[in-house]
Amino acid sequence: METEDEVKKTQVVDARARNISHNVRCTECGSQSIEDSQADIAILLRKLIRDEIHAGKTDKEIFKKLEEDFGETVLYAPKFDLQTAGLWLSPLLVAGAAAGLWAYKRHRQKTNVHIMALDLVRGVALTPKEKETMLDLLTPPPSQGITPSWWRRWSGQ
């Protein structure tokens, strides 16, 4: 009969093993973690993980061993280094570029040189209604694409 300490130790080992197994990709299935897979290799890897835990290895050491034995793709979360920096930082770069473009367009919409000049000449700022009317008058229609004159002559437009 197991003592209370042995039961707790077994529960801790099982919890650690499940946690590690959820973060390791099945090398046979590819799209499943070894915790969810019933492939032979997944069963062997789960046993290896439990053996490593019983041997006193830390989670980090176990992940490192799996990565060394099976390659970087066995882990769901690749490590952050110079080779993977682009992968990790690309969402931030794309979001930053989109936010910058949005802010620039918004600034351009709200800042019209003609309205600013009219404010200076009048000495009094335009009312919101006057600004809206002026923007409607001064904003050119969306361009349909500027066609060079040589293209119009060549294509017969």
Query: Contacts for 54-62 with beta carbons within 8 Å, 24 or more apart?
Result: 54/13, 59/16, 59/19, 59/20, 62/20
66 shares its domain with 96? no
Q: Has residue 48 been placed in a domain?
A: yes
Q: Has residue 44 been placed in a domain?
A: yes
Range of 129's domain? 92-138
Report the C-alpha gap between 32 and 28 in whole angstroms. Answer: 9
- pLDDT tens, residue by residue, 121-149: 777 777 888 878 877 777 766 666 666 66
pTM of the model: 0.49
CA angle 121, 126, 127 (to 5 degrees): 165
- pLDDT tens, residue by residue, 111-128: 666 666 777 777 777 788
